[in-house]
Structure 1
Amino acid sequence: MTTQSTIVPITPAQAVAAEPAPLPRRPFGRWFRETGWRHLIGIVMLVFAAFPLVYVLSASLNPGGTLLTANGLFQNFDLGSYIDLFADPTRPYGDWFVNTIVIGVCSSVGTVILCALAAYAFSRMRFTGRRFGLLTLLLVQMFPQLLAFVAIFLLMSAIGDIFPVLGLNSQIGLIMIYLGGALGVNTFLMYGFFNTVPASIDEAAKIDGAGHARIFFTIILRLVAPILAVIGLLAFISTTSDFVIASVVLVDPDKQTLAVGLYQFVSQETARNWSVFAAGAVLAAILPMALFLSLQRYIVGGLTAGAVK
């Protein structure tokens, strides 16, 4: 014998009465002491970080040409400065932009490949001088590359007498300098991330007959994609924003990068045009910003995962 259960309908008044009562609102003083001060600090830091960007954008739209006329934000709106960037044949902004992209991409790709190979060797192989090599890479980075620009100039000048393609005024030579300066700290950062990948994966692949090259290119690189994206992004930003080394190596205007070329708009006392300079800076920031936003999901994981060992 079966019994049938009946469903008693609930009226809207009963449904409202059954809902939990809302929590009492905290007093403003207590809210500010617990969480409000964090919002205040965040707003202050946001304004502090965004004001230079807004000011440069406003100056690029101001046809005055001086920083004094750009004090009023967005009082004028004129795209003439952006047109003037590409109208002066003595200042080839288009060539600077292309040169910057080529040098930045080649340097970042080369840095990722070389650092990944070195980090894999330090992480998976045991050889004499391994620990000493890691410490040496870390200690060398304590001395910035900027301190050696005189030695770099003399070295590039001597190399240019034998191999002109690698000497002064050579973009390939500049890329080689960037690759040499980026290996230290980036290799150490990748080494920490490679250590988070279990060695049992390598051992299982070796049982199946895979060698180090196949393990590295088909297995390990896919597992360490976040740190590869981080190193590539950092290398691209550092090379595209470099001024000192690029100004020493590159001489011809058609071979210079954006950082060096844009300086010509404000270097001459009688021909300074800050509006055109700001317009060039705005366009130059678009590519790094787009690259940063596209790789943002890898940055936090790539930087933190390698810090556990």
Structure 2
Amino acid sequence: MIKMAEQIKVKKQSSIKRNRFLKHFFTYLYMILLSIIIIYPLLITTMTAFKSSDVVAFTLDFSGPWTLNNFKELFTDTLYGTWYGNTLIISIFTMFVQVAVITLAGYTYSRYNFAGKKWSLTFFLVVQMVPTMAALTAYYVLGMLLNGLDHDWFLILIYIGGGIPMNTWLMKGYFDTVPYDFDESAKLDGAGNFTIFWKIVMPLVKPMIAVQALWAFMGPFGDYMTARYLLREEENLTVAVGLQEFISDPKNQQVALFAAGAILIALPICALFFYLQRYFVTGLTAGGAKG
């Protein structure tokens, strides 16, 4: 009986080790495949950006010669600098206004009861189900009525409005995770509604605010369809639309310039990510002590 029990124990330990090995094996295999899918196109774009301007196709070629002429040509022979500035302005305004609106809206929906609360949240979900493609015609007509076509301010309003419905839901959900006991304790200490919001609750939701800011900032850099539909003059384009001009002509595709411009798009996004990264951790504990 003792030997049988020992054999069962050995088999059980062997089965646990085998399952653990298979779990680790497939986990790392998945991570490797995912890394290849992400890194491979990025590597091709980077290699192409440093090749001579006569490159006719994206290629993964580590051989020389390498050059910085493509980056120089972007700002001297094209309107890339103007496009880049337009996009930065749109992204910054969109980020600040959208984050402010959805933060206040999320807090309101989370902490207060008012008439139409349930129906307005449902309306947000319904609006979010409408794809951007279906709304382009409405955006165009609205732009004509407001004389907003080919203007940055109108595109900013479109981005802000499009980001409010779903992001308000996300912010409300995150505010809901903050215990209401913090609010009650602060009220007992004489804190007003704004003090509770700004000094007690806000520090706890910094991770979500940072994520929302990053999403709002990234949107205009990656959006092509809406900007292409609402912007006309070449000097008013965003980088996503402007870069497409480099490869839109099959007979004269400037692949190297396109790759160089695409690489530069990542710089402000990466800078903002590394700046906001601290809030992903510190926000989880900063408000807890105050509560």
TM-superposed deviation, 1:211? 3.4
Q: Does 1:244 align with 2:225?
A: yes
Question: Alignment identity in percent?
Answer: 35
- For residue 123 of structure 1, what is the aligned residue in structure 2? 110
- For residue 13 of structure 1, what is the aligned residue in structure 2? none
Call closer, same or farther: CA 1:119–1:29 in 2, change over 3 Å: closer
5+ long unaligned stretches in structure 2: 1-16, 284-291
Moved more, 137-146 or 171-180: 137-146
**For residues 208-252 of structure 1, what are the alpha-carbon distances to aligned partners after superposition, in whole Å with 9 as ceiling and x for unaligned?**
444333332333222211110011111111222111111222222
Call closer, same or farther: CA 1:217–1:32 in 2, change over 3 Å: closer
| Contact 1:62–1:69 (Cα < 8 Å) also in 2 | no
- For residue 273 of structure 2, what is the aligned residue in structure 1? 292
Question: Quick one: distance in 1 between partners of 2:58 and 2:248?
Answer: 19
Moved more, 288-297 or 179-188: 288-297
Of 148, 165, 184, which residue of structure 2 is paired with 1:203? 184
SS at match of 1:128: coil
- For residue 235 of structure 2, what is the aligned residue in structure 1? 254
Matches within 5 A, 1:262-301: 262-296=243-277, 298=279
Task: Name the amino acid aligned to 1:263.
Answer: Q
Question: Quick one: distance in 2 between partners of 1:36 and 1:297?
Answer: 32
The count of corresponding residues between Structure 1 and Structure 2 is 268
Q: CA RMSD in A?
A: 2.5
Q: TM-score under structure 2 normalisation? A: 0.83
Q: TM-score under structure 1 normalisation? A: 0.79
Question: Quick one: distance in 2 between partners of 1:74 and 1:31?
Answer: 42
SS at match of 1:66: coil
| Contact 1:60–1:279 (Cα < 8 Å) also in 2 | yes
Task: Name the amino acid aligned to 2:94.
Answer: S
TM-superposed deviation, 1:191? 0.3
Call closer, same or farther: CA 1:145–1:34 in 2, change over 3 Å: closer
Matches within 5 A, 1:68-87: 68=57, 70-87=59-76
Q: Does 1:52 align with 2:21?
A: no
Question: Quick one: distance in 2 between partners of 1:295 and 1:129?
Answer: 35
Moved more, 28-37 or 59-68: 28-37
- For residue 41 of structure 1, what is the aligned residue in structure 2? 30
Moved more, 179-188 or 290-299: 290-299
TM-superposed deviation, 1:146? 2.8
Of 202, 215, 224, which residue of structure 1 is paired with 2:205? 224
Structure whose alpha-carbon radius of gyration is higher: 1
Task: Name the amino acid aligned to 1:258.
Answer: V
Call closer, same or farther: CA 1:170–1:31 in 2, change over 3 Å: same
Question: Quick one: distance in 2 between partners of 1:38 and 1:83?
Answer: 43
TM-superposed deviation, 1:292? 2.6
**For residues 69-114 of structure 1, what are the alpha-carbon distances to aligned partners after superposition, in whole Å with 9 as ceiling and x for unaligned?**
73534443111111110111xx321121121111111101111100
| Contact 2:56–2:253 (Cα < 8 Å) also in 1 | no
TM-superposed deviation, 1:172? 0.9
**For residues 154-179 of structure 1, what are the alpha-carbon distances to aligned partners after superposition, in whole Å with 9 as ceiling and x for unaligned?**
1101111xxxxxx1111111111111
Task: Name the amino acid aligned to 2:263.
Answer: V
Of 168, 177, 182, which residue of structure 1 is paired with 2:149? 168
SS at match of 2:66: coil
Which structure has more helix as a fraction of its residues? 2
Call closer, same or farther: CA 1:174–1:251 in 2, change over 3 Å: same
